[in-house]
Chain A
Amino acid sequence: MAAILSQALTKTYRSRGTPLHRDTAVRALTDLSLEVHEGEVFGFLGPNGSGKSTTIRLLLGFLHATSGRAQVLGHDIATESEEIRRRTGYLPGGIAFHDSMTGDEQLRYLAALDGQPATLRDELIDRMQLSQRDLGRQIRDYSRGMRQKIGIVQAFQNDPELAILDEPTEGLDPLMQRSFYDILGDRKRNGRTIFFSSHILSEVERVCDRVAIVRAGELVALTDVAGLLSRRRRRVELRFSGEAPTLDGVPGISEVQLRDDVLACQLEGDPGPLLAALQGVAISDLLIEPARLEEAFMEYYAADAGVDASGGPGIQA
């Protein structure tokens, strides 16, 4: 069974006009069809305003689909939203809490609303380095990073079958980001499914099994990260002594440039044929740049106006 299965999910926001303003309709999501497998970490990528949060809010029943349908853990999002939320942990983007409560009171309150034991709370508190003193303070005194830590704990504390996370590492320092990735790894090893949206490509590349890329409300790619990266063109540079190696006709090699004792080229796919062709060559230095998801991502956005090689619309590498 798929953890998430959507078919032609579409959301159009309509606002009623006034005598001075016309009716408006904005299509936030168009015909989104995707399947998230149980037990995988699935990244949902796109710049701000691309439809990531709309998708998440549709899956959790905050929004109603204009057309199409979806199931989460086998439950229909239109008719069984409560059951979906019973089995799902959720971390909204820019999470807000009741400021007058302490961190501990907030976590206990949300666990009570869940109606399930918070079996992972203590472990998560420990991993997020939240001290008892921190938890005893009112949330109004928390920094953004502290709030995010509480947000992560509340999303996972009852060990949900599926966690839906919207920009989960916003506000976390690098150390806490690492702890968070470790938590995701553990949850995955326990057979849990993670669906998270992000515009930080490095974290998606690091933790996700598969990614979907959305642009202007439309799915433009759905693929596994390893496969995506293996197909990326990478720059190869080698310094040699003696006779220059010949790379003509080597599978995956293109744009060969030779200057003095340095040979540069582009490698696509398996590096095996290249390494075979270099056998017997006296190589003093070899550089194969790692494939980056950023480049793959930028390729999908290259058609958009205003996208440059340094980043793109709201994307961080």
Chain B
Amino acid sequence: MNLPLFRRTIAANAVRVVVIALGLMLMGIVMPLMYATFGKDLDSFVQTIPLFAQFSNFGGGDLFTLTGMVAMGFAHPFTLLLMGIMAVVFPALAIAGEREKGTLEVTLSRPISRHGLYATLFVAGLLFIMSLAAVLVATISLSIAAVGFADAVSLARFAQLWVADVLLFVAIMSLAFAASVESDRAGPAIGIPAVFVLLNYLAFAIGSIWPDASWLQDYSMFDLLKAKNVLDGGLAPGDVAVMVLFASVFIGIGWYRFPRRDLPAPA
């Protein structure tokens, strides 16, 4: 862990984090508000059309309950895009991007080990994800209280939801760091985890709205979050274990490979 590098990383990403946080706050406010304002009417309308009713299962099912609507806030493509910027783009730019620009070479010409650099950037990324997930969870819980459903979900469940959200995006970030370590350019470092996220999301989305393909959800990382289930019944230890294992494997790959990689002169 290198403090000057850590401070510089935080400062360099501060604007990006604030913009993403504002976007997540918007999601956090809108979802409970939609439930309180239009939930029942929408539910009645949707149930009259079988196809729409099927679509209401998206994001964990039962979209027009409070917990279903909150779960939708976590599984919404907009949320995913915002969190994905930190989980995928940040690691890609922090190592492969800096390497492509030539600035990684200047940093590593200082007395800082590659393990030190990797750990520092990872901790910074972890902090970003923890903060952004906290913003989303806090905004949603405040918004729920504001629309008069404060007693509907306990704070402990929101804390568990925050843990699940952090674990999911840390797992994705671990993959992105491993790809970043292995790449000399930012493009592939973004592309590999982005494709992984997209395929997982497609599997999750298709599986949740198409009963015949529901088995696809079992192979999606996003199925591990299950925000509605967490709010209704708490964290599933098995899901936590899978996410921790996934993150550990890719953290280990990055940790092992980075010091062993050759860093030729930037093109």
> Chain A interface (Cβ within 8 Å of chain B)?
13, 53-54, 57, 60-64, 81-83, 85-86, 88, 90, 92-98, 100, 109-110, 112-115, 154
Contacts and interface: CB of A to CB of B under 8 A. Distances in A.
Contact of B111 (A63, A83, A94): A83
A110 B262 contact: no
14 contacts: A13-B262, A54-B264, A57-B265, A62-B108, A62-B262, A64-B260, A82-B112, A82-B113, A85-B108, A85-B112, A92-B109, A97-B106, A113-B107, A154-B106
A97 B103 CA distance: 5
Given A64-B262, A113-B107, A96 B102 contact: yes
Nearest to A151: B106
B101 interface: yes
A115 B41 CA distance: 63
Given A57-B265, A63-B264, A115 B111 contact: yes
B102 A94 contact: yes
A134 B118 CA distance: 33
A85 B111 contact: yes
Nearest to B110: A113
A114 B263 contact: no
Given A54-B264, A88-B109, A113-B2, 12 more contacts: A57-B264, A60-B109, A81-B113, A85-B108, A92-B102, A93-B265, A95-B106, A97-B106, A98-B12, A109-B8, A110-B106, A114-B111
A88 B108 CA distance: 12
A170 to B, nearest CB: 13
Interface centre among B2, B107, B110 (most CB of A within 10 A): B110
Contacts of B43: none
Contacts of B8: 98, 109
Nearest to B112: A113
Nearest to A63: B262
Contact of B4 (A62, A82, A92, A113): A113
Nearest to B109: A90
B111 A86 contact: yes
Interface string B223-267: 000000000000000000000000000000000000010111110
A40 B108 CA distance: 25
A89 to B, nearest CB: 8
Contacts of B262: 13, 62-64
B10 interface: no
Contacts of A97: 103, 106
A87 to B, nearest CB: 8
A82 B109 CA distance: 9
Contact of B263 (A62, A90, A98, A110): A62
A97 B4 CA distance: 16
B5 interface: yes
